[in-house]
Amino acid sequence: MKVELLAYTPNPDYVVAMSAKLCYSKTGVDNIRDNLDDEKVQKFISHLTSIGHQSPIEHVSFTFAIEGISRVCTHQLVRHRIASYSQQSQRYVKLEQFEYIIPPQIAENEKAREIFIKAMEDDQKAYDKIVDELIEGNVKYFIEEGYTEKQAKSMAEKKSIEDARYVFPNACETKIVVTMNARTLMNFFEHRICERAQWEIKEMAYLMLEEVKKTAPNLFKNAGPSCISRNKCKEGAMSCRHPEIPKTRMEEMDRKIKDKL
């Protein structure tokens, strides 16, 4: 799995602080930047966090490029609706040899891994055979529609893989570009870094959080599941009862970032 922060609002902590300053002081637009040093930036952001005023953090956004994840993961990801997504298309990209994600517990079980890999290989063979079966008829159709042979072959392949892709499994590897504003990211981290989150999207969320903490340390200082951000688990009877797990990993993350600075 690879997560790369492609772009973000410049000086995100500063932008959020300016927005907060406008809300809570008599300052006007001309003076919004005046005397806004690092200490005051941190103070404004801490104030927003303490009172739950989240609209100012919507003014900054972050764009990630993510690869090495499964369709299982992206099906969960796109449920976070206040975001923008651009995903590699199986309709237009022919997968000559598709990559796939093996869940850890399957990878660690020799027999389960063997069954899993065979299923993936069978899916690829089925995909290739279906494409071959469909192309000839589709070429004929497009030629009859008046296209040149070259055009017909190109269009036929696209039409064939459009339906052949249905045999691919949820494990199929995919790539996606994601843009979220900071408020959406906070909500995403609260749900997906929780120990109850599915393992793959949880790992992706940790990697995304590590990236944004490098650029907006004040803003994402307390980001994470409610046991960290609010010192109280909101899962009720469904609690994992192990808040030390995300806490330890977050501390390790902060040390890692600090060491690189």
φ/ψ of residue 186, rounded to 5: -60, -45
Mean pLDDT of 230-237: 88
**% of residues, the chain, pLDDT over 70:** 100
For the stretch 244-260, pLDDT in tens is 999 999 999 999 998 88
Question: Measured between alpha carbons, how far apart are the two ends of the chain, in Å?
Answer: 24
Mean pLDDT of 160-173: 96
User: What value does the CA radius of gyration of the chain take, rounded to a whole number of Å?
Assistant: 24
Mean pLDDT of 161-183: 97
pLDDT at residue 25 is higher than 80: no
For the stretch 33-58, pLDDT in tens is 888 888 889 888 888 888 888 899 99
Beta strands 84-87; 173-181: pairing state: antiparallel
| pLDDT, averaged across the chain | 94
- The answer to whether 33 is a known catalytic residue is no
Q: Who contacts 65 (Cβ-Cβ below 8 Å, separation ≥6)?
A: 3, 4, 6, 175, 176, 177
pLDDT at residue 12 is higher than 80: yes
pLDDT-derived band at 20 (thresholds 50, 70, 90) equals confident
Q: What pLDDT was estimated at residue 40?
A: 87
Q: What pLDDT was estimated at residue 218?
A: 92
Distance CA 171, CA 239 (A): 28
pLDDT-derived band at 230 (thresholds 50, 70, 90) equals confident
pLDDT-derived band at 26 (thresholds 50, 70, 90) equals confident
pLDDT at residue 59 is higher than 80: yes
Mean pLDDT of 7-12: 96
> What residue spans of the chain are helical by DSSP H?
12-24, 38-51, 71-77, 104-107, 110-144, 149-164, 182-192, 199-215, 226-229, 244-260
Choose the catalytic residue: 113, 192, 241, 249: 192
Q: What pLDDT was estimated at residue 231?
A: 86
Q: What pLDDT was estimated at residue 253?
A: 94
Distance CA 223, CA 250 (A): 9
